[in-house]
Amino acid sequence: MDEDTLPGVEARHYEQVAKAIGYLRANALRQPPLVEVAAAVGLSEHHLQRVFSEWAGVSPKRFLQSLTKAHALAALRASADVLDAALASGLSGPGRLHDLIVSCEAMTPGEVRALGAGLEIGHGFAATPFGEALLGWTPRGLCHLEFRDGTREALLAALRSLWPHATLRRDDAGAAALAGQVFPRLPAPRRLHLVLRGTNFQIQVWEALLRTRPGQLLSYAQLAAMAGLPRAPRAVGSAVGANTLGVLIPCHRVIRGSGDCSDYRWGVVRKLALQGWEAARAAAVAEAGR
């Protein structure tokens, strides 16, 4: 079997790419050349070029262009045009063009208050293109996806604190199968059901995020308008931060109106990696369609 088809290879590539992004972020004003970045992360220039291209689908230079402030500001302006047109026509937001078709339902207030009583939650750890993640699911759908930066025990403790009365069933094989649906190696239309646990306000914000498209960036104010909450951008920001379904509820697409990448539950470097990864794929799809 080819080494690059083995589980965990993409996760290992992400670790190397994340180091490169961290170095570039710290030295952005100098725009260091690839040979310097490669040396800083302990790889040859050729190896870094190969890893970036295999992981992101584009060259390091093109990928890194998507992480600049100029790109972010242009993306915000483009989102403003799309949102203005959509809102003026009475629509809640632009259509979501994505191979992954996500449907969702909110837990009832009674179910949330029960803290998982009578509920079995399957959970496990799996490799993803953005590092190892803890996934959780109920018979109704996926309810949890958190990336791991610390210990597994810390993530498991956080999951238990959210559902203290639930029965937690460890199933790493099931988690790997779900991760394969969320991050397939080859694009293919597929459906995934999410179960949302939050307040009505939070769910309103998360559903607005689901209407954004891969590669899109928008400000907190733009998201607030899209969610029908134009006077509550700060509260919208809090709802974004409360999301525990990484990538699927795409809070990584929200940045400051200045174009700067703001805080992210799973680290700013991972947020930048997600943005660049999506932008690269959106550009490739656009080119293929020309």
pLDDT at position 38 over 90: yes
196: domain range? 69-288
Same domain membership, residue 13 and residue 94: no
pLDDT-derived band at 117 (thresholds 50, 70, 90) equals: very high
pLDDT at position 171 over 90: yes
From 11, 32, 16, select the one nearest 148 (Cα to Cα): 11
Same domain membership, residue 53 and residue 196: no
Same domain membership, residue 77 and residue 52: no
What is the pTM for the complete model shown? 0.84
Looking up residue 210, the CATH number of its domain turns out to be 1.10.10.10
From 43, 65, 87, give the residue that closes a domain: 65
Lowest mean pLDDT among 39-43, 50-54, 207-211: 50-54
Same domain membership, residue 77 and residue 58: no
Could you give the 3-state DSSP secondary structure of residue 236? Answer: helix
Same domain membership, residue 42 and residue 155: no
From 65, 89, 115, give the residue that closes a domain: 65
Residues with catalytic roles: 251
**Higher confidence at residue 191 or residue 205?**
205
What contacts 24+ positions apart, CB below 8 Å, involve 130-135? 130/11, 130/14, 130/247, 130/266, 130/270, 130/273, 130/274, 130/277, 131/11, 131/14, 131/15, 131/18, 131/270, 132/11, 133/179, 133/246, 134/159, 134/175, 135/175, 135/178, 135/179
pLDDT given for residue 130 in this prediction: 95
Same domain membership, residue 89 and residue 159: yes
Q: What is the mean pLDDT of residues 102-125?
A: 90
Same domain membership, residue 23 and residue 152: no
Looking up residue 49, the CATH number of its domain turns out to be 1.10.10.60
From 65, 80, 105, give the residue that closes a domain: 65
Using CA atoms, how far apart are residues 253 and 218, in angstroms rounded to an integer? 6
- Calculate the average pLDDT of the chain: 84
- 206-234 tens-digit pLDDT: 999 998 888 889 999 999 999 999 999 99
Same domain membership, residue 43 and residue 24: yes
Q: How many domains does the chain have?
A: 2
Same domain membership, residue 179 and residue 207: yes
Strands in 139-269 per DSSP E: 141-147, 167-170, 190-196, 218-219, 254-255
Amino acid at residue number 27:
N
pLDDT given for residue 101 in this prediction: 66
pLDDT-derived band at 187 (thresholds 50, 70, 90) equals: low
In angstroms, how far is CA 122 from the centroid of its own chain? 21
What residues have CB less than 8 Å from 53, skipping those under 6 apart? 59, 60
What residues have CB less than 8 Å from 183, skipping those under 6 apart? 10, 128, 129
pLDDT given for residue 253 in this prediction: 95
Same domain membership, residue 210 and residue 132: yes
**Higher confidence at residue 116 or residue 57?**
116
Could you give the 3-state DSSP secondary structure of residue 142? Answer: strand
Could you give the 3-state DSSP secondary structure of residue 1? Answer: coil
**In the chain, % of residues over pLDDT 70:** 86
pLDDT given for residue 285 in this prediction: 67
From 129, 86, 105, 127, select the one nearest 216 (Cα to Cα): 86
pLDDT-derived band at 88 (thresholds 50, 70, 90) equals: very low
pLDDT-derived band at 189 (thresholds 50, 70, 90) equals: low
Using CA atoms, how far apart are residues 71 and 255, in angstroms rounded to an integer? 12
Same domain membership, residue 203 and residue 84: yes
Answer for the pair 133, 178: CB distance below 8 angstroms, yes or no. no
Using CA atoms, how far apart are residues 58 and 136, in angstroms rounded to an integer? 32
What residues have CB less than 8 Å from 229, skipping those under 6 apart? 201, 204, 205, 235, 236
Q: What is the mean pLDDT of residues 250-268?
A: 90
Same domain membership, residue 275 and residue 218: yes
pLDDT given for residue 172 in this prediction: 97
